[in-house]
Structure 1
Amino acid sequence: MGIKSPITYKWRKTGSKSVRHGMNFAYGGTGVFQTSVPAPNMTTQIHLFQRVVHHDRLYTQADLASSLALVSVAGNDYGYYTSRNGSAQGLLNFIPLVVNQLALNLKSIHDMGVKKIAVASLEPLGCLPYSTKTSSYKQCNGTQNMVVNFHNVLLQQAVAKLNNETKGSAFHILDVYDGFMSTIKKKGNNSGNILKPCCLGLSKGFFCGSVDGKGVKQYSLCKNPDSAIYWDDVHPTQAGWRSVFSTLKASLHQLYL
């Protein structure tokens, strides 16, 4: 998008020049609600944002009015729900709770004075190597992607409602789901097992980055990471993300208007 990476919240006091490029409140593994990761959930992250504005006074209302907020929730709420309950039973009743809270959080950001808010749709979790390994990385898990689509439909409805209530178009959806599916289809036509991750554990019990007691690597790497969409069981490669976001250029440009 032609902007510098925003400084993380933790390093906000390292210099005024850095904060002018924005601030990143995200924490790996967290979600809309609390997950197994001991880190602030989305509501708490917004409270930190409010503190930066009202207590630390690092940003003015004019700054907020000319800013873009990017909200990305990667599905950790659903992974935590499934692991905590031992199955996906009841997940369809849980999804509306997640989306409703997400919508409240989006409104909180808007109420602070941010005029443009982009929220990413949920990526096709059923295509993650974690889900496709049972099919030898040959096909996406359709059941999991149906759950993701339910989330994304509710998110679309929630965003439409927010735009109607605010009498504008402050809220935008970045269709990350379609970006991944388009990338998988495109790269799948040009190469072999595109759902296979670049980094793999060599045997059961080992994963990407594992070493044994002697420090010997217990994982293998593909020869060309730029040809892979996924790095490990759950994370895309940098090349994968570049390909996904190339499909979002039109919607990203809309955010500048």
Structure 2
Amino acid sequence: MTMKLFALCFVVLFLLLNGRVAESSRPAAGGDVSPSRRHRHDHGRHRRHHGRPTAADPRPKLFVFGDDFADNGNVASDPSLGAASRSWRYPFGMSDAAHGRKPTGRFSDGLVQSDFLAKIIGHRASPPAYLGDEWDDVMDPAGMNFAFGDSGVLDVPSGVPRLGKQVQQLASLIKAGVVDDRDLKGSVALVAYSGNDYSNSTNDDELVTKVVEEIGSAAWRLLDLGVSKVLVNTVPPFGCSPWLSRLHNYSSCDDGGNAFADRHNAALRDRLAGEDDDVLLLDVNSIMTDLVAPKPGSALAPRLTERLRPCCEAVIAGGDDEDAEGGGGGGGYCGLDDGYTLCDHPEEYFFWDVVHPTQAGWRAVMQLLQGPIMAFLGISNLEHF
């Protein structure tokens, strides 16, 4: 049996056993994706690989949108921004051998979801961060990453582009001719939304409706712009994040937080329901739940030994951490000198800080999503990561 045939058989078997992790659906038209303005910032760390793929290059370009789960360096590296810029400071990036084990603006100890999706498609890592005004008008062979830490679809911090604005950034590049038909043919978009709009609300059905409507509108707009396939995340199990599981001494998930995430995901599933085969709903929620709160006898249980406690944990100076920024409140957070404690083996932890997975956590999630993604995109070469 050839390796190609073996990989194809693996995909078919994986889909039969794991059909619930992804759904093919069509977003309805409508919704406002009007832009919000953000400031220019200077990273001075990024290099772009110029040129387009040849006609024989089968690898599709990847366009990434969303928030912390997929950002690979769009957030400013300005220390004066404090916690908002924490992803550019140690210990972020400490497990990322591909980037010299240094911080790269990723909200993790290493690679994030967009990197592993890029590997599935055939690229080495996530396409370069967009960087706003610093874009040099040369399209990268891997695509482009517009995702921005702390982003959402409604209200966002100053200088942070909403999801709709990120989609508009791509539209502007298409209009300017920087992105053309060759780039869009066979292209893939990831909408990695993790729920930042819900940070101050745990029980608001009207908010859920508004958020889901905007996500659906963004997916439809991407298809309308010419993107071939769109992947949309469900939100993670909020109650299993250390932000809420800390209330249970990291021994169990918070049922209320998970129920709210389930309501969002049910509404999102309804919003994207239809007959179009060009949108895939990735059930990140169920996979994360299975990994961090496995049922007795689950084959996933041995994967990670520390499932609910964060590797990088904030030093909390009096009071709770309801206003946590990446690791805790009370002045401490992951990335602040003397403001956190750090585990010895992040590869054994699912969570990096209060909300973001480790590199090992993202690898486990994307390994379980790889089969459905490959089948959806018509990819037969299995990438091991």
TM-score grouping bracket, smaller chain normalisation: 0.7 to 0.9
Q: Which has the higher helix share?
A: 1
Instruction: Give the direction of change, closer, same or farther, for the CA distance of 1:61–1:127 in structure 2 (3 Å limit).
Output: same
Shift of residue 65 of structure 1?
Answer: 2.7
Shift of residue 155 of structure 1?
Answer: 1.2
Shift of residue 203 of structure 1?
Answer: 3.9
- What aligned pairs does 1:44-83 form with structure 2 within 5 A after superposition? 44-55=165-176, 57-79=177-199, 81-82=200-201
* Aligned counterpart in structure 1 of residue 352 of structure 2, from 208, 231, 252: 231
Aligned CA RMSD, in angstroms, stands at 2.0
**Alignment match, 1:23:** 144
Amino acid corresponding to residue 76 of structure 1 in structure 2: N
Contact 1:129 1:195 in 2 (8 A): yes
Structure 2 CA distance for aligned equivalents of residues 122 and 34 of structure 1:
18
Structure 2 CA distance for aligned equivalents of residues 171 and 208 of structure 1:
35
**Alignment match, 1:173:** 281
Structure 1 CA distance for aligned equivalents of residues 288 and 207 of structure 2:
24
**Alignment match, 2:64:** none
Contact 1:188 1:194 in 2 (8 A): no
Amino acid corresponding to residue 226 of structure 1 in structure 2: E
Contact 2:230 2:280 in 1 (8 A): yes
**Alignment match, 1:99:** 212
> Which runs of 5 or more structure 2 residues have no equivalent in the other structure?
1-119, 318-329, 379-385
Residue-by-residue CA offset, 1:101-158 (whole Å, 9 max, x unaligned): 2111111111111121110111111111011111111111111111111111111122
Structure 2 CA distance for aligned equivalents of residues 235 and 251 of structure 1:
23
Amino acid corresponding to residue 68 of structure 1 in structure 2: V
Structure 2 CA distance for aligned equivalents of residues 190 and 138 of structure 1:
17
> Which runs of 5 or more structure 1 residues have no equivalent in the other structure?
83-87, 212-216
Instruction: Give the direction of change, closer, same or farther, for the CA distance of 1:256–1:135 in structure 2 (3 Å limit).
Output: same
- What aligned pairs does 1:187-202 form with structure 2 within 5 A after superposition? 194-202=307-315
Shift of residue 191 of structure 1?
Answer: 7.0
Instruction: Give the direction of change, closer, same or farther, for the CA distance of 1:203–1:107 in structure 2 (3 Å limit).
Output: closer
Report SS of the residue matched to 1:71.
strand
How many residue pairs align between the two structures?
238
Structure 2 CA distance for aligned equivalents of residues 255 and 191 of structure 1:
28
Normalising by structure 1, we get a TM-score of 0.85
Structure 2 CA distance for aligned equivalents of residues 191 and 72 of structure 1:
23
Structure 2 CA distance for aligned equivalents of residues 238 and 117 of structure 1:
23
**Alignment match, 1:129:** 242
Contact 2:311 2:351 in 1 (8 A): yes
Shift of residue 178 of structure 1?
Answer: 1.3
Structure 2 CA distance for aligned equivalents of residues 107 and 93 of structure 1:
21
Contact 1:187 1:194 in 2 (8 A): no
Shift of residue 63 of structure 1?
Answer: 2.3
* Aligned counterpart in structure 1 of residue 162 of structure 2, from 41, 46, 60: 41
**Alignment match, 2:266:** 153
Structure 2 CA distance for aligned equivalents of residues 227 and 172 of structure 1:
30
Instruction: Give the direction of change, closer, same or farther, for the CA distance of 1:37–1:142 in structure 2 (3 Å limit).
Output: farther
Structure 1 CA distance for aligned equivalents of residues 137 and 175 of structure 2:
18
Contact 1:19 1:58 in 2 (8 A): no
Indicate the percent of aligned positions where both proteins have the same amino acid.
Answer: 29
